[in-house]
Homo-oligomer: A and B are copies of this chain.
Amino acid sequence: MQRILSTELARHTGETVTVAGWVHRRRLLKSVAFLIVRDAAGLTQVVVTEPELRARIETLGEESVVELTGTVTANPAAPAGVELTAPALLRVLNAVSVPLPFDLHRPALTAALPTQLDQAALSLRHPGRAGALRIAAAAAAGFRAALEQRRFVEIHTPKIVASTSESSVRSGVVAGRSDGESGANVFALDYFGRPAYLAQSPQFYKQLMVGVFERVYEVGPVFRAEPHDTARHLAQYTSLDAELGFIADHRDVMAVLTEVVAAMTATVAERTGAAVPKVPAEIPALHFAEALRIVGAPADEPDLAPAHERALGEWALREHGSEFVFVTGYPMRKRPFYTHPQPSDPVWSNSFDLLFRGLELVTGGQRLHRYADYEAALAARGEPTGAYRGYLDGFRYGMPPHGGFAIGLERFVARLTGAANVREVTAFPRDRHRVTP
């Protein structure tokens, strides 16, 4: 008999069906036993009164994998309005005899986070932890769908690069940022006896591919040897990157990003039912100088402190009813060398951050597109062009005005779900203290 999922039971009321899944919980009362079977879709309550079956169930530890057949019976008190009665245990697909290190059937996992992460293969089965990963999958699907509809082409770029400069191309973005990020943190690798490095971002490659497809995106891992052990840093995370050519300036990038974030939240809501914020058709945008005035910071502040970002989040909600706000024009000296300056006043840049609930969610902007401008920008920062040779060469051959953005998937999910630690929404996180499982 074809197995059906827990969520399909109600459609089969009165019929005999087969279900399969994990023993989520056993409640052994005096006259009746309830067996809760978990599958990928949800829970099935099985009512056991027959003594021989009850005796077998008593020996089956939680997380044993079973296949049962029974009659679907309406019961308004059961989790899904139906339960399985008169069951027969068809097969024990895998018996678990060891005790679990923590319970999976409680509303939230009670084990400390390090224990959850040590036992990730088990803790991720908790509906809360699994739900966060489903939200991540939906968010990535929404990201891709929105970009494919706008003729972006998916690319796959190298994660191993020849120089730390190329790996840490984003260093200018983050060096000296008030949130403690630093871009020099590159993992070194033995590459056939030579040194090489893990890429901190696909920045170089997505820009070069604008010369091929005009519009490109990538969903892939990026690597940061973060020395900090914080609730929001990972040594590997999933970066949702996009880059587009033939733009007027950064505002064209912000318009695409707004549509992409709206598609991501809509897909999350549609697929998972999670509560998501409203994304305005036009997200309020403030110039950096104006943002400083609003938060009461000195006009010569080079960056926004976390308290400033929180204040701007409150301002956007109060003044515009928006949980999102763009800050544009960040000072050039705080942005990477490839950033396009603001033509009217090159102290500022054609870059932006998108804040969500008072925290930076996305960084992006317009990039330089002329080879000579790259040479000048590196020279002004006292950086030799040699280390960027493989990158810069591509700009000799005609690149259109372009820009892009990058969204950290795990941070996005953590903020959407309110998780206090990004590790709670990452399957197998990597940090300076953790490289297993």
Binding site for B on A (CB under 8 A): 3, 20, 22-23, 39-40, 63-65, 93-96, 98, 100, 119-122, 124-125, 130, 133-134, 136-137, 140-141, 144, 148, 151, 153-162, 187-192, 194, 196, 198, 205, 208-209, 211-215, 219-221, 223, 225, 227, 235-236, 238, 246, 369-370, 389-391, 393-394, 396-401, 409, 427-428, 430, 432, 435-437
How far is B141's CA from A124's CA once the two chains are assembled, in angstroms?
A: 27
Q: Which residues of B contact A188 (CB under 8 A)?
A: 189-190
Q: Which residues of B contact A63 (CB under 8 A)?
A: 397-398
CB distance from A373 to the nearest CB of B (A): 10
Could you list 19 examples of A-B contacts with CB < 8 Å? Answer: A39-B214, A40-B213, A63-B397, A93-B369, A96-B397, A121-B211, A121-B397, A122-B211, A124-B209, A124-B211, A130-B213, A137-B153, A137-B155, A158-B435, A160-B430, A188-B190, A208-B437, A221-B221, A394-B437
Residue of B nearest to A194 (CB): B435
CB distance from A155 to the nearest CB of B (A): 6
| Cβ A205 vs Cβ B428 within 8 A | yes
Cβ-closest 9 pairs across A and B = A121-B394, A390-B437, A63-B398, A40-B214, A121-B208, A137-B154, A390-B436, A63-B397, A96-B398
| Cβ B94 vs Cβ A212 within 8 A | no
Report how many copies the assembly holds.
Answer: 2
Q: Which residues of B contact A153 (CB under 8 A)?
A: 40, 133-134, 137
| Cβ B398 vs Cβ A64 within 8 A | yes
Q: Is the interface of A mostly helix, strand, loop or mixed?
A: mixed
CB distance from A95 to the nearest CB of B (A): 8
| Cβ A160 vs Cβ B397 within 8 A | no
How far is B140's CA from A144's CA once the two chains are assembled, in angstroms?
A: 12
Q: Which residues of B contact A238 (CB under 8 A)?
A: 156
CB distance from A109 to the nearest CB of B (A): 14
| Cβ B208 vs Cβ A198 within 8 A | no
| Cβ A398 vs Cβ B436 within 8 A | no
